[in-house]
C-alpha cells in the first residue's frame, strides 16, 4: 500500500509543487482503489486499472444509483453498460485465475484474496468455483471502495479544518515509529492510537452506510416494552443517529478524536458473541457504535479498512500540511438523501456544484469535479503544503 501511495503522490498532478489547492475526494478515491486492488486482488488487477479495468469499473459503479435498489432490471443505458461490465469483469478475473493455475500458483507468490479463495473449500470439501471467486472479487471491490474512500476523505477534510490534530498525528509517528520515514507495516501501525481514534471519531459522525436493514423472520419482542414486531416487517438501524446522540457521546456534534482516550472502546461494549462459521466474534448488536453494522452480516472488511485508511492518512501526514480554504472551519454537509455506497458521488457532487444539495440521479462522472474550479465551493477542498521538515 505504501509503495502505491508513494508512487501516486510522486506522479499525480494534484500533488505537484510545494504548495497548492486540492480536491481531496477524487484524489482519495483513486488512492483507495489502487491500494485496495493491489493488496486484496493482486498485481494483475492493479495493472489493468490503468487500462480496460478502469472503464469497466466506472460502468459497474454507475449501476449503484438509488433507482437500482428499487428497479435493478430497469432498461436504462447505464444498466445495460453495468451488466456488460459485470460480464467482462467476470471474464477478466476468470482469465487471471486460469493463468495463475497454468503457472502453478501455490498461493505463496500472490498473497491476495484471489489466491486465498483459489485454495479454499466449502465445509463439505467442494472447492470454490472460479466464477464464484470472480463474483466475490467484484463484490469486494464495490463493497470496500466507497466506504473506505469516503471515510478517508472525511478524515482529511477534518484534519484540514483542525490542522493541530494533523500535527499531533505527525508527532505520534515520530514518537512511536522513531521517524516519519520508517516503512509502514501491519505491526508497526498498531500502536498508532491517535490515528485509530481519528478514524473511529470520523466514522461516528460520518458512517458511510447510513441505513442497516433487517427483515423480521419470527415475532420479535422489544425488551422493556409490550411491543412485538411481527414477521415480514423491516427494521432499520441508523448508525449516525446514535453516533450523534449526546446521551452516548457528550458534545456529540464536535469532532474530537481525543474523546476515545476516555471512552470505553466500542468493541468492549460488544458483549454478545456468536460463531457464524469462522470462529467466535462479537455481534456488535448491543453497541451504540455501529458504523460497521452488527450481527451475521457485520462488515468483514473492518480490519482491512482500518489498515488502509491508517496508511492513506499516515502517508498524507508524512508529506503534507493541510488547511481549509479561506480559513474556513466548517465542512461540507453530509447528504443523507442517498444510498450509503453512493455517498462518495454525492460528496463529489456537492463539492463540484454548491447549488445542488442532492445527488443527481443522472449518470454522473466523478471526473467532472476534477479541475472544475470555476464551479467549486471551497468546502471540501483543502490547501496543501508539502512538509519540508
Task: Work out whether 142 is an interface residue with ligand HEM (CB under 6 A).
Answer: no
Number of residues that bind ligand HEM (CB under 6 A): 23
Task: Work out whether 198 is an interface residue with ligand HEM (CB under 6 A).
Answer: no
Measure the CA–CA gap between 281 and 343, rounded to whole angstroms: 29
Task: Work out whether 85 is an interface residue with ligand HEM (CB under 6 A).
Answer: no
Beta strands in the chain (DSSP E): 19-23, 212-215, 220-221, 228-229, 234-237, 273-275, 280-282, 320-324, 381-386
For the bound state, the minimum distance from the C-beta of residue 304 to ligand HEM, rounded and expressed in Å, comes to 5
For the bound state, the minimum distance from the C-beta of residue 128 to ligand HEM, rounded and expressed in Å, comes to 15
Closest to ligand HEM by CB, 114 or 177: 114
Helical (H) or strand (E) element with 14: none
Q: Between residue 266 and residue 295, which ones bind ligand HEM under the rule CB under 6 A?
A: 291-293
Measure the CA–CA gap between 64 and 145, rounded to whole angstroms: 12
Length of the chain as a residue count: 389
Closest to ligand HEM by CB, 48 or 202: 202
Q: Which of 14, 220, 299, 325 binds ligand HEM (CB under 6 A)?
A: 299
Closest to ligand HEM by CB, 267 or 297: 297
Judge whether 347 and 335 are in contact, CB under 8 Å.
yes
Closest to ligand HEM by CB, 252 or 300: 300
Task: Work out whether 363 is an interface residue with ligand HEM (CB under 6 A).
Answer: no
Contacts (Cβ under 8 Å, ≥6 apart) of 123: 277
Q: Between residue 24 and residue 83, which ones bind ligand HEM under the rule CB under 6 A?
A: 40
Closest to ligand HEM by CB, 209 or 383: 209
Measure the CA–CA gap between 201 and 254, rounded to whole angstroms: 10
Task: Work out whether 342 is an interface residue with ligand HEM (CB under 6 A).
Answer: no
Task: Work out whether 209 is an interface residue with ligand HEM (CB under 6 A).
Answer: yes
Helical (H) or strand (E) element with 323: strand 320-324
Q: At what angle do helices 130-161 and 77-102 cross, to 10 degrees?
A: 110
Lookup: cell for 5: 501511495
Task: Work out whether 138 is an interface residue with ligand HEM (CB under 6 A).
Answer: no
Which phi and psi angles does 55 have, rounded to 5°?
-75, -35
Task: Work out whether 133 is an interface residue with ligand HEM (CB under 6 A).
Answer: no
The residue with its CB nearest to ligand HEM is: 301
Q: Which residue's C-alpha cell is 485465475?
A: 97
Measure the CA–CA gap between 266 and 242, rounded to whole angstroms: 12
Measure the CA–CA gap between 15 and 18, rounded to whole angstroms: 8
Task: Work out whether 148 is an interface residue with ligand HEM (CB under 6 A).
Answer: yes
Query: Near ligand HEM by CB under 6 A, which window of 56-64, 141-149, 172-180, 217-225?
Result: 141-149
Closest to ligand HEM by CB, 201 or 384: 201
Q: Which of 37, 115, 147, 366 binds ligand HEM (CB under 6 A)?
A: 147
Q: Which residue's C-alpha cell is 480554504?
A: 325
Q: Between residue 212 and residue 241, which ones bind ligand HEM under the rule CB under 6 A?
A: 212
Q: Please, what's the largest Cα pairwise distance for the chain?
A: 65
Which chain residues interact with ligand HEM by CB under 6 A? 40, 139-140, 143-144, 147-148, 151, 203, 207-209, 212, 291-293, 297-301, 304-305
Amino acid at each position: 500500500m505504501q509503495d502505491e501511495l508513494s508512487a501516486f503522490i510522486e506522479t499525480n498532478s494534484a500533488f505537484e509543487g510545494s504548495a497548492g489547492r486540492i480536491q481531496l475526494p477524487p484524489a482519495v478515491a483513486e488512492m483507495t482503489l489502487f491500494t485496495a486492488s493491489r493488496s486484496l486482488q493482486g498485481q494483475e488487477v492493479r495493472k489493468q486499472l490503468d487500462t480496460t479495468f478502469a472503464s469497466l469499473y466506472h460502468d459497474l459503479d454507475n449501476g449503484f444509483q438509488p433507482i437500482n435498489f428499487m428497479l435493478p432490471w430497469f432498461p436504462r443505458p447505464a444498466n445495460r453498460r453495468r451488466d456488460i461490465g459485470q460480464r467482462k469483469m467476470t471474464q477478466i478475473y476468470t482469465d487471471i485465475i486460469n493463468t495463475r493455475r497454468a503457472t502453478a500458483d501455490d498461493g505463496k507468490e500472490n498473497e491476495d484474496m484471489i489466491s486465498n479463495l483459489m485454495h479454499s473449500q466449502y465445509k463439505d470439501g467442494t472447492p470454490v468455483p472460479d466464477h464464484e471467486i470472480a463474483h466475490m472479487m467484484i463484490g469486494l471491490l464495490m463493497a470496500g471502495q466507497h466506504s473506505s474512500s469516503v471515510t478517508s476523505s472525511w478524515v482529511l477534510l477534518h484534519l484540514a479544518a483542525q490542522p493541530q490534530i494533523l500535527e499531533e498525528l505527525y508527532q505520534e509517528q515520530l514518537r512511536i515509529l522513531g521517524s516519519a520515514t520508517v516503512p509502514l507495516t501491519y505491526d508497526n501501525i498498531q500502536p498508532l492510537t491517535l490515528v485509530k481514534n481519528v478514524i473511529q471519531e470520523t466514522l461516528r459522525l460520518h458512517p458511510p452506510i447510513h441505513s442497516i436493514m433487517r427483515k423480521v423472520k419470527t415475532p420479535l419482542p422489544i425488551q422493556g416494552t409490550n411491543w412485538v414486531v411481527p414477521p415480514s416487517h423491516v427494521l432499520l438501524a441508523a448508525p449516525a443517529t446514535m453516533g450523534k446522540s449526546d446521551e452516548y457521546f457528550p458534545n456529540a456534534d464536535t469532532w474530537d478524536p481525543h474523546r476515545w482516550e476516555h471512552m470505553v472502546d466500542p468493541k468492549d461494549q460488544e458483549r454478545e458473541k456468536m460463531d457464524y462459521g469462522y470462529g467466535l466474534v462479537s455481534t456488535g448488536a448491543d453497541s451504540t457504535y455501529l458504523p460497521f453494522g452488527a450481527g451475521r452480516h457485520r462488515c468483514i472488511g473492518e480490519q482491512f479498512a482500518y489498515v488502509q485508511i491508517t496508511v492513506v492518512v499516515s502517508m498524507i501526514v508524512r508529506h503534507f500540511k493541510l488547511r481549509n480554504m479561506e480559513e474556513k472551519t466548517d465542512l461540507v454537509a453530509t447528504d443523507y438523501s442517498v444510498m450509503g455506497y453512493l455517498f462518495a458521488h454525492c460528496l463529489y457532487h456537492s463539492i463540484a456544484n454548491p447549488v445542488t444539495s442532492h445527488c443527481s440521479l443522472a449518470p454522473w462522472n466523478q471526473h467532472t469535479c476534477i479541475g472544475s474550479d470555476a464551479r467549486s465551493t471551497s468546502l471540501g477542498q483543502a490547501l496543501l503544503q508539502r512538509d519540508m521538515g
